[in-house]
C-alpha cells in the first residue's frame, strides 16, 4: 500500500501540514486512509488519537476560529464529502509565524487532510451543501476553555470566499472574542 504525501505550510518545528492521503479507487468505489501513526511520525507529526467526531455544514456556513485556551488539541481534519476552504491561524505569541494564517481547500475528490498543531485556531467556509468534515484530535477536550476569535477580526485579515451578506454563522461564533482580547491571556503552548 502506498503512503502519504506531506506538504508543510509554514516554517518552524510544529507547523500545519497538508497531507495527501492514500487513495485507491475503481468502478466499485474507493478506499482512503487518512492516518497511520508510524508514517506520520517518520514525517515529524507525533499524533496520538484521543477523540474522533464529524460535523455537517450547509453551503455558505463559516465556522470558527476555534481553539482551547488550556491544553489545546492538535487536529487532523478531512473532508470525505463536500468542499471547504479550511483556515488555520498561528496563535503562539513566541512563534515566528505568529498571527499568520494559511488556507487550503479540502474536498471529497482531492483526498487531502490538514494537520493543525496545538496553538493554532481553526475555521472553515463550507462551499457546498451537506459538507461532511471528519475531525481526529490529539488531546482531551476541555469544554471550560473551548473558545475562539471572530472570523472577521481585522487584525488577522482573513480573506473568506463567501460574501458576508450570504454567510451563515452561529450565535456562538458571532460572540467570540477579538484578537486584542485574546492577547490579554493567550493560550499556553510550548514552541517545539
Q: Of these residues, 35, 66, 111, 115, which one is catalytic?
A: 66
Give the residue ranges of DSSP H helices in 4-139: 37-42
DSSP label of 95: S
- Per the annotation, the verdict on 135 as an active-site residue is yes
Helix (H) or strand (E) holding 183: helix 179-184
- Per the annotation, the verdict on 66 as an active-site residue is yes
- For residue 121, give the nearest of 161, 92, 94, 80 by alpha carbon: 92
Dist CA 36 CA 34 (whole Å) = 7
Per DSSP bridges, beta strands 101-107 and 83-90 are antiparallel
Q: How many helices (H) and strands (E) does the chain have?
A: 3, 13
Q: Of these residues, 8, 23, 81, 135, which one is catalytic?
A: 135
Residue 158 CB neighbours (<10 A): 21
Would you name the residues annotated as active-site residues? 66, 135
Amino acid at each position: 500500500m502506498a503512503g502519504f504525501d506531506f506538504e508543510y505550510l509554514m516554517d518552524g518545528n510544529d507547523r500545519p501540514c497538508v497531507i495527501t492521503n492514500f487513495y485507491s479507487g475503481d468502478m466499485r468505489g474507493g478506499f482512503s486512509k487518512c492516518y497511520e501513526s508510524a508514517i506520520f511520525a517518520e514525517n515529524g507529526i507525533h499524533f496520538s488519537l484521543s477523540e474522533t467526531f464529524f460535523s455537517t455544514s450547509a453551503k455558505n456556513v463559516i465556522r470558527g476560529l476555534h481553539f482551547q485556551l488550556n491544553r489545546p488539541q492538535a487536529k487532523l481534519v478531512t473532508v470525505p464529502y463536500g468542499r471547504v476552504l479550511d483556515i488555520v491561524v498561528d496563535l503562539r505569541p513566541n512563534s515566528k509565524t505568529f498571527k499568520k494564517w494559511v488556507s487550503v481547500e479540502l474536498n471529497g475528490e482531492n483526498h487531502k487532510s490538514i494537520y493543525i498543531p496545538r496553538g493554532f485556531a481553526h475555521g472553515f467556509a463550507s462551499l457546498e451543501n451537506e459538507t461532511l468534515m471528519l475531525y481526529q484530535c490529539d488531546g482531551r477536550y476541555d469544554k471550560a476553555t473551548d473558545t475562539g476569535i471572530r472570523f472577521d477580526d481585522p487584525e488577522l485579515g482573513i480573506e473568506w470566499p463567501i460574501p458576508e451578506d450570504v454567510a451563515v454563522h452561529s450565535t456562538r461564533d458571532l460572540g467570540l472574542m477579538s484578537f486584542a482580547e485574546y492577547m490579554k491571556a493567550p493560550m499556553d503552548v510550548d514552541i517545539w
